[in-house]
Amino acid sequence: MSELESQVGRPSVPGPRTQKDVFLSVRDLRIHFDTDDGLVRSVDGISFDLRRGRTLGIVGESGSGKSVTSLGIMGLHRSQRARITGEVWLDNDELIGSSEDFVRRQRGRRMAMIFQDPLSALHPYYTVGAQITEAYRVHHPVAKKVAKARAVDMLDRVGIPEPAKRYSSYPHEFSGGMRQRAMIAMALVNNPELLIADEPTTALDVTVQAQILDLIRDLQKEFGSAVIVITHDLGVVAEIADDLLVMYAGRCVERGTAEQVFAAPQHPYTWGLLGSMPRIDREQTERLIPVRGTPPSLINVPDGCPFHPRCPYADVPEDNVTRTVRPELREVGTGHFTACHLPQEERTRIWTEEVEPKL
Amino acid sequence: MSDLTKSPDPVEPLLKVDGLVKHFPIKKGVLQRTVGAVQAVDGISFDVRPGETLGVVGESGCGKSTMGRLITRLLEPTGGRVEFEGKDITHLSVGQMRPLRKDVQMIFQDPYSSLNPRHTIGTIVGAPFRLQRVTPEGGVKKSVQELLSLVGLNPEHYNRYPHEFSGGQRQRIGIARALALKPRLVVADEPVSALDVSIQAQVVNLLDDLQDELGLTYVIIAHDLSVIRHVSDRIAVMYLGKIVELSDRQPLYETPMHPYTKALLSAVPVPDPKRRAARTSRILLRGDVPSPISPPSGCRFHTRCWKATTVCKTTEPPLLELAPAHRVACHHPENAQDQQPTDTERLAGAPTQDEVVRTSE
């Protein structure tokens, strides 16, 4: 089996992965919420594999289900309203069917999360150090002193100056970048094998963003963990991700290595995202090429391809198929998948002749 | 705009800002004594020419939003002078400002908090007409509907409430309201940063089209350097209440002179994984922006600058024109002649080049 296949995986093979380097395997994950307005299909069939030492970038706009996916993996959805189906394999343990207590013991130790807004994710009443110490002692029966030493060490590792002094600071005394560092320290205190970062840099300035991305990259190299980075910023994923998963309306529309998706994107939505971004590395373009319209409501997801109302090529495939049949993920290159009805030759032609020259 | 640009003389600026200062006092104790000040904007000068777009970029806390609120006179300046079309508006009262509000309008960042949830779109977009006691030709309703279609909304949505619209549509409503009285100058504070990528592009294109159509002058404040590059003709880079570099778009991005500008540009993530390997070095600034309550002496960037020497700590560099239409406030600029060549002694404690410039793996 080629290397690429093992990275992005093949959909819908239930059961634990035999390959031992695949650490996280998500199989047909669906997360629906019952609301007064109807059933919200936030995540509607997502599958992917992730190996240790690799970084997966999940890209999509607000409401595409990327954060709901990550909370689903972490088992943070157990409310009465969420309906979760599918499988999440963490190494050899399936999490969706496991007891709440079991998932709780994994959370923080084997898998940890960095949230977007560190000010609301850190408790304002406790010192930063106390919160990191607690995260350590929940999973390790050690003396307070040992845990404190560990916390100070972690603060130092994430680049907080004077860690021993900063240990007793409160979150409000930290700047935005320092808070994000403190949260990364808390997430990594137990050496998790899986780290999920949900928009880790969105609230930060560009120079601080560069620092934090660098930090995540360095720490991953050091700890060898698997990392999922969720973001709406294609620039951020290009900086950090090895593999890429593009989400639209709760589904995966394209998946492949970062090189594949950026060099030869296959889905019209990915084209739209690339065309929407002003790029600092290219010649100035006169106009951006936005995706027309707005993302659909997840209660009434359009029939057929959910992207068809916004897709400029919706009428290219014959028999109105884009409006009636839901496209499945198909392999278009080694380890490169897309869910689109456009015939392969047509898609390549549109990309090379119509879309790429304008970017 | 057209009759102004035709004149052979240098174009009279639409907005002229000279030495603008805004300090917010910090009060303490029962007696509310002033114990210090947040020096949000500390002496900035620039012109805005008719028909152009001036982009203002900087990190959070650099005073760019305060600057926007000062030139629209939503805040009272502590010092300095603001002139609009040759008229001093620095200390006009609310009542004296009102006739000018027709000409100077603002677009706000957050489309959720800048629209009254209890008012219909018709009321919101029509408010400027009522406040200014203007009766447009054909009535307010007709004008509002024209404005709605101008910004790409359905005129039939006149009676809907803000919550029925998406973020991008709300931002369009905010734009329609700003354009109601046909302003000369529009100040947009982070107009797209709250929007999704695909919607961002729609709004950027809309602002572009409206400028062509209505001959608007923009001051666009944003933190995103790629967006600023796309929309602006000239760009001002701010750091801790000062303009550190002011230049036309192209020279700023191709030959940035201020080390801070250079660092900002190199920190922008580029959506191209191939460049990750190709990029030779990236400047990684250490730490955070210092507090504007007690900004560093001399050049305010000297605490994070890898080129800092003794003079940087003692003397504030003036904003000088070192290349045609390219002003920079730095003693040791990049891509230009060193302004203090005799001063070579490195500042103790300043980061070294190796610490800051990081070669990618």
CATH number at residue B154: 3.40.50.300
B204 interfaces chain A, CB cutoff of 8 Å: yes
Q: Are A65 and A55 in contact (CB under 8 A)?
A: no
Residue numbers of A between 224 and 253 with CB closer than 8 Å to B:
232-239, 241
Question: pLDDT of A256-283, one tens digit each?
Answer: 999 999 999 999 999 999 988 888 887 7
For B216-223, what is the mean pLDDT? 94
- Residue ending a domain, choose from B243, B270, B303: B243
Do B342 and B228 share a structural domain?
A: no
Helix extents (H) in A24-143: 66-73, 100-106, 118-121, 128-139
For A99-107, what is the mean pLDDT? 90
Question: pLDDT of B147-164, one tens digit each?
Answer: 999 888 888 888 999 998
pLDDT of residue A19: 58
Do B253 and B193 share a structural domain?
A: no
Q: What is the ipTM for the molecules in this complex?
A: 0.81
- The C-alpha atoms of residue A53 and residue A47 are separated, in whole angstroms, by 19
Do B184 and B248 share a structural domain?
A: no
- Residue ending a domain, choose from B243, B270, B304: B243
Mean pLDDT of all residues belonging to chain A: 87
Q: Which domain holds residue B311?
A: 244-359
Sheet holding A194-198, edge to edge: A111-114, A194-198, A226-231, A55-59, A243-248, A251-257, A336-338, A330-333
Do B287 and B165 share a structural domain?
A: no
Question: pLDDT of A161-218, one tens digit each?
Answer: 889 999 999 999 888 888 988 999 999 899 899 999 998 888 788 888 888 888 888 8
Chain B residue with minimal CA distance to A221? B361
For A38-65, what is the mean pLDDT? 91
Do B249 and B220 share a structural domain?
A: no
Please enumerate in sequence order all residues whose Cβ is within 8 A of that of B170, keeping only pairs 6 or more positions apart, or say none.
B111, B112, B115, B162
pLDDT of residue B238: 95
B220: nearest Cα among B113, B122, A30, B206: B206
Do B285 and B180 share a structural domain?
A: no
Higher pLDDT, A30 or A161: A30
- The C-alpha atoms of residue B261 and residue B55 are separated, in whole angstroms, by 14
Nearest to B273 among A258, A290, A292 (CB): A258
Chain A residue with minimal CA distance to B169? A294
Do B170 and B86 share a structural domain?
A: yes
Domain assignment present for residue A170? The answer is yes
Of A240-244, A313-317, B108-112, B346-350, the least confident: B346-350
Nearest to B223 among A205, A214, A279 (CB): A205
The answer to whether residue A8 scores a pLDDT higher than 50 is no
pLDDT of residue A197: 93
Question: pLDDT of B50-82, one tens digit each?
Answer: 999 999 999 888 899 999 999 999 999 999 999
Cβ neighbours of A239 in B, within 8 Å: 269-270, 276
The answer to whether residue A48 scores a pLDDT higher than 60 is yes
Nearest to A290 among B205, B249, B263 (CB): B205
Residue numbers of B between 159 and 178 with CB closer than 8 Å to A:
166, 168-169
**Are residues B226 and A279, on separate chains, in Cβ contact within 8 Å?**
yes
**Are residues B271 and A235, on separate chains, in Cβ contact within 8 Å?**
yes
Which residue's entry shows tokens 């024109």? B321
**Are residues A262 and B269, on separate chains, in Cβ contact within 8 Å?**
no
- Residue ending a domain, choose from B205, B226, B243: B243
Do B275 and B151 share a structural domain?
A: no
pLDDT of residue B359: 58
Mean pLDDT of all residues belonging to chain B: 88
pLDDT of residue B234: 95
Could you give the C-alpha distances from B309 to B139, B296, B315, in angstroms and in order? Answer: 64, 14, 11
B243: nearest Cα among B11, B50, B54, B14: B54
Domain assignment present for residue A88? The answer is no
Q: Which domain holds residue A164?
A: 119-191
Please enumerate in sequence order all residues whose Cβ is within 8 A of that of B261, keeping only pairs 6 or more positions apart, or say none.
B237, B244, B245, B252
Cβ neighbours of B248 in A, within 8 Å: none
Domain assignment present for residue A129? The answer is yes
Q: Are A168 and A114 in contact (CB under 8 A)?
A: no
Do B266 and B176 share a structural domain?
A: no
For B31-56, what is the mean pLDDT? 91
Domain assignment present for residue A161? The answer is yes
B288 interfaces chain A, CB cutoff of 8 Å: yes
Cβ neighbours of A272 in B, within 8 Å: 198
Interface test with B, best of A213, A276, A283, A284 (most B CBs within 10 A): A276
CB-based burial of residue B216 (10 Å sphere; 0-12 exposed, 13-18 middle, 19+ buried)? buried
Instruction: State how far residue B231 is from chain A, nearest Cα, in angstroms.
Output: 9
What is the total count of domains within chain B?
A: 2
Cβ neighbours of A278 in B, within 8 Å: 201, 204, 226-227, 229-230
Do B89 and B65 share a structural domain?
A: yes
Do B189 and B297 share a structural domain?
A: no
Of A130-134, B34-38, B279-283, B326-330, the least confident: B279-283
The answer to whether residue B31 scores a pLDDT higher than 70 is yes
Q: Are B303 and B350 in contact (CB under 8 A)?
A: yes
Give B84-132 as a 3 state SS string: ECCEECCCCCHHHHHHHHCCEEEECCCCCCCCCCCCCHHHHHHHHHHHC
A309 interfaces chain B, CB cutoff of 8 Å: no
The answer to whether residue B279 scores a pLDDT higher than 80 is no
Strand partners, B222: B57
**Are residues A207 and B285, on separate chains, in Cβ contact within 8 Å?**
yes
Q: Quick one: what percent of chain A has pLDDT higher than 90?
A: 52
pLDDT of residue A3: 43
For B249-260, what is the mean pLDDT? 92
Cβ neighbours of B202 in A, within 8 Å: 290, 292
For B33-39, what is the mean pLDDT? 89
pLDDT of residue B220: 95
Cβ neighbours of A290 in B, within 8 Å: 198-202, 205
What is the total count of domains within chain A?
A: 1
pLDDT of residue A131: 94
pLDDT of residue A262: 92
Do B208 and B281 share a structural domain?
A: no
DSSP B346: B
